[in-house]
Amino acid sequence: MSEPKFFKMPASVRLQDIASWAEAEIYRGDGSIEVSGVAPLEDAGQGTLVFFDNTAYLDQLQETTAAACLVASRHKDKVPEGVAVLVCADAYRSWAKVLGKLFPEALIPKEPGPAAISERASVDSGASLEENVTVEAGVVIGADAEIGAGTVIRANAVIGQGVKIGRDCVIGPNCTVQHSVLGNRVYFHPGVCCGQDGFGYAMGPQGHLKVPQVGRVIIQDDVEVGANTTIDRGANRDTVIGEGTKIDNQVQIGHNVVVGRHCVLVSQVGLSGSCTLEDFVAIGGQTGVRGHVTIGMGSQVAAVSVVNDDLPAGGRYGGTPAKPVKQWFREVAALRKLAERGGGS
């Protein structure tokens, strides 16, 4: 069986072009050098480009036979002789820029060829699609839905009645979008469910009475949502995801949640109803946030934490319940010492 390559390297690229894309300076090497591939340090060979930003991989760097390496200034003299050196402010970020130029289809994959609406899709006559919209087989688009130019709706997705989707979006296979308004350049990975009703019940001895969820989901521009993530619509106000926010796979966002701009939510984060994340908040994987709390702008919460109370802006927090990381570390150290003292009993 042949070994397929899903993302093929384009024709060889000169080092000076890579330096321009990476916003890097050629510290050592000839700008006319041809780069014909990219690779991790351990697999790099002649003609390939690598990057280095973590000293844990210093041994691999010193053994590399790559053609060129992206590094921060503090690491430039660690690169072995014979390897061209591109100095940049942030090697990983520059690496991302270069890969984006070389493999644009890996950022947001779109099928080659002209936009088309599959004969095996079901598009309601009352839906409105702008020019150059692609609708693949098995898609269902409801009445009064609006889809902007350049958007791709992948196989078997369901776009509900009245949903608004902006321009240059990608709605992945098997996604379900209901009661939602999406901005431009929104990317849903496969299996996202957006706009279903939130989990709301008036509980009592007579039974649990379902509360109608009459809000929407508002997703602003340049938001990316990972596979199998769920975003509930608001109960009596909207669930909102701010522009530029990046959400990993299998994240749960409850009703009435407000996520600010350029936040990062890692896999299996759970946001309970009516919590608020201000701009630039980052939350590590498997962290839970209680309903009705606010996490201040720029705060970071470590993985596998539980946020029970409001967290001030700009801090770093972790633990159960979440607290400033220095306090958390002291508590963990104290518990360890206590356990060691009683270890023989």
Q: Which of 179, 255, 262, 292 is catalytic?
A: 255
| Rounded (10°) CA dihedral 73, 79, 83, 84 | 10
> If phi over 0 gives left and psi between -120 and 50 gives alpha, with beta otherwise, what is residue 36?
alpha
What residues pair up with 69 in beta bridges, in sequence order? 50, 85
DSSP string, 275-311: -EE-TT-EE-TT-EE-TT-EE-TT-EE-TT-EE-S-B
What lies within 8 Å, CB to CB, of 119 at 6+ separation is none
CA distance 30 to 32: 5
Q: Is 255 a catalytic residue?
A: yes
The first and second tokens of residue 152, run together, are 């791709």
Kindly list the catalytic residues.
Answer: 255
